[in-house]
């Protein structure tokens, strides 16, 4: 594994977004996923001498792109967004489509389109490094709301996530773990116990609770557990 992932909590106490500074440790190439807020990202990068080359955008919402302009000015990084959501941004440099790959140093990511939260929401999937950046589509124990898409589109998008390998770890766009935690406490399965154990371990180490394996998420996230499309659509429309 040569992809290093540093979660940076942004808009703390307001939106509690996660930006991620990601580095290919072999080449030193660095990028930011969802530059929510410039200052904490700059602080992290500058203290380590990192100079991000790209900002990888999951979707166009302000709380995910608020730091783009300042970081672009400071580091000259290029903004990479889905062609669909790029129309909402004034400063996208590179647009990508479903299924395309994008290279950061020696590392390659695949773009997975997941309409629902926004029409052009994408996931950044680093298959070799088993990391998935899910923006506002998948959170710990929850999923994003529908701002632009339909419950059916969200269903399709979540099926794409469910089809990915269990050992892929995912990195959500917000710290929303608390929202699903009570459900986890009421869940008597071994998977729920393992999920809680991982959260506790990370808490003890002072690490943010991100990077949960998809296999556990599939077993514990109430939205991913639904296998019937009609049930999901009813449930989702009500939630």
Per CB under 5 A, residues contacting Fe ion are: 63, 136
Is 116 or 213 the residue whose CB approaches Zn ion more closely? 116
Is 24 or 136 the residue whose CB approaches Zn ion more closely? 136
For the record, the structure tokens of 146 come out as 């529908």
Question: Residue 210 region, left (φ>0) first, then alpha (ψ -120 to 50), else beta?
Answer: beta
Distance of alpha carbon 33 from alpha carbon 22, whole angstroms: 7
For the CB of residue 97, give the shortest distance to Zn ion in the complex, in Å: 20
For the record, the structure tokens of 90 come out as 């004034």
For the CB of residue 139, give the shortest distance to Fe ion in the complex, in Å: 10
Q: Does residue 179 contact residue 171 with C-beta atoms inside 8 Å?
A: no
For the record, the structure tokens of 25 come out as 């440790």
Is 149 or 213 the residue whose CB approaches Zn ion more closely? 149
Q: How far is CA 234 from the centre of its chain?
A: 25
For the CB of residue 131, give the shortest distance to Zn ion in the complex, in Å: 20
Is 60 or 219 the residue whose CB approaches Fe ion more closely? 60
For the CB of residue 75, give the shortest distance to Zn ion in the complex, in Å: 24
Distance of alpha carbon 20 from alpha carbon 67, whole angstroms: 12
Give the 3-state secondary structure of residue 25: coil
For the CB of residue 15, give the shortest distance to Zn ion in the complex, in Å: 9
Q: Which residues bind Zn ion (CB under 5 A)?
A: 61, 136
Is 7 or 213 the residue whose CB approaches Zn ion more closely? 7
Query: Among Zn ion, Fe ion, none, what binds residue 130 when CB lies within 5 to 8 Å by partner kind?
Result: none
Is 21 or 29 the residue whose CB approaches Fe ion more closely? 21
Which string of DSSP letters, residue by residue, matches 63-76? HHHTTHHHHHHHH-
The continuous run of DSSP H or E covering 78 comes out as strand 78-82
Q: How far apart are the first and last CA of the chain?
A: 38
For the CB of residue 58, give the shortest distance to Fe ion in the complex, in Å: 9
Q: Does residue 108 contact residue 126 with C-beta atoms inside 8 Å?
A: yes
């Amino acid at each position: 594994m040569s992809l290093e992932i540093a979660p940076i909590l942004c808009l703390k106490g307001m939106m509690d977004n996660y930006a991620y500074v990601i580095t290919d440790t072999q080449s030193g190439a660095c990028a930011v996923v969802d530059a929510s807020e410039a200052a904490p990202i700059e602080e992290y990068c500058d203290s380590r001498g990192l100079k991000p080359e790209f900002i990888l955008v999951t979707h166009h919402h302000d709380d995910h792109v608020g730091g783009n302009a300042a970081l672009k000015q400071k580091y000259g990084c290029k903004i990479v967004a889905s062609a669909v959501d790029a129309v909402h941004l004034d400063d996208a440099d590179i647009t990508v489509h479903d299924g395309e790959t994008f290279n950061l140093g020696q590392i390659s990511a695949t773009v997975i389109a997941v309409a629902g939260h926004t029409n052009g929401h994408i996931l950044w999937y680093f298959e070799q490094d088993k990391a998935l950046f899910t923006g506002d589509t998948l959170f710990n124990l929850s999923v994003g709301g529908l701002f632009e898409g339909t419950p059916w589109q969200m269903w399709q998008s979540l099926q794409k996530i469910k089809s990915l390998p269990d050992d892929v770890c995912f990195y959500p766009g917000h710290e929303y773990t608390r929202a699903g935690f009570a459900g986890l406490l009421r869940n008597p399965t071994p998977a729920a116990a393992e999920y809680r154990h991982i959260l506790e371990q990370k808490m003890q180490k002072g690490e943010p609770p991100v990077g949960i394996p998809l296999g556990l998420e599939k077993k514990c996230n109430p939205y991913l557990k639904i296998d019937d499309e009609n049930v999901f659509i009813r449930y989702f429309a009500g939630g």
